[in-house]
């Protein structure tokens, strides 16, 4: 019998061929990023593999070859580009992600915007919100030192007493354990004069905040390069 010397092609399953419970992207969505290994996180950045390796296998190989994430950080663009299956787009994505991680680690809390007055909030949002064509309501989340933790957009289109749900205003503050918030919304007309609805909403938010143990420090209304602080005017704050 003649021996079959034909080339045997080894089968490599693509990421999509894996069960849903084993795919890195789906696991990140369902279980959170902290449940994934470095190889799985890197595979999400790579997205696709080659004819002989899927993205997860490439990620594992790169980590082993360069000595983990610290080694990848030190590796030059061209050296990483020379690896099989690594095009410029993939290398750029990895380098960008590693740089973001490095910047986050070196980030100091003192660098965050500190809110000491309504003017500080205005400087943060005035230029962006002054010329919006629709009404928007945003919530500035603060930590115990009045550093801005996040600015979340809550409503777009029409901000009035009939549509505002207190739970939505405080959702992110509760999730992030923020002890204080500042509510900001704009008047597309350019006139920041508070309406009766604005004042009523403010009072309701202040009372709800007391129940949730989250202090509503202020409600700013933004006009055309100007603003009004309802707390400064004593409107809605007892």
Distances (CA, A) of 71 to 80, 155, 187: 11, 44, 51
Q: DSSP characters for 153-212?
A: EEEEE---TTT--HHHHHHHHHHTT-SEEEEEEE-TTS--PPPHHHHHHHHHHHHHHHHH
Residue 4 has what pLDDT? 46
Please tell me if the domain spanning 15-107 has the same topology as the one spanning 118-229.
Answer: no
Locus of tokens 């945003």: 138
Residue 54 has what pLDDT? 87
Distance separating alpha carbons of residues 184 and 130, to the nearest angstrom: 11
Distance separating alpha carbons of residues 14 and 48, to the nearest angstrom: 8
The DSSP bridge pattern shows strands 215-222 and 148-157 to be unpaired
Q: What is the pLDDT of residues 13-36, one digit of tens each?
A: 566 666 766 788 888 888 888 888
Distance separating alpha carbons of residues 161 and 135, to the nearest angstrom: 13
Say which CATH class 118-229 falls into: alpha beta
All structural domains of the chain with their residue ranges: 15-107, 118-229
Q: What is the pLDDT of residues 66-101, one digit of tens each?
A: 999 888 988 999 999 999 999 999 999 999 999 888
pLDDT band for position 108 (50/70/90)?
low
The DSSP bridge pattern shows strands 215-222 and 227-229 to be antiparallel
Architecture of domain 15-107: Orthogonal Bundle (1.10)
């Amino acid at each position: 019998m003649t021996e079959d010397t034909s080339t045997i092609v080894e089968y490599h399953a693509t990421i999509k061929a894996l069960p849903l419970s084993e795919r890195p992207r789906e696991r990140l969505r369902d279980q959170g990023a902290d449940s994934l290994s470095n190889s799985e996180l890197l595979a999400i950045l790579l997205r696709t593999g080659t004819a002989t390796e899927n993205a997860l296998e490439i990620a594992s190989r790169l980590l082993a070859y360069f000595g983990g994430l610290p080694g990848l950080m030190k590796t030059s663009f061209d050296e990483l580009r020379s690896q099989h299956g690594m095009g410029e787009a993939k290398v750029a994505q990895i380098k960008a992600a590693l740089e973001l991680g490095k910047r986050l680690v070196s980030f100091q809390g003192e660098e965050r915007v500190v809110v000491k007055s309504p003017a500080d909030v205005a400087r943060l949002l005035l230029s962006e919100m002054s010329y919006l064509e629709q009404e928007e309501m945003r919530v500035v989340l603060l930590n115990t030192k009045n550093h801005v933790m996040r600015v979340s957009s809550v409503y777009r289109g029409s901000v009035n007493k009939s549509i505002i749900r207190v739970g939505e205003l405080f959702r992110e503050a509760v999730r992030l354990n923020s002890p204080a918030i500042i509510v900001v919304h704009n008047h597309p007309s350019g006139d920041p004069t508070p309406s009766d609805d604005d004042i009523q909403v403010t009072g309701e938010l202040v009372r709800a905040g007391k129940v949730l143990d989250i202090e509503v420090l202020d409600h700013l209304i933004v006009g055309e390069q100007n603003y009004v602080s309802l707390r400064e005017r004593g409107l809605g704050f007892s």
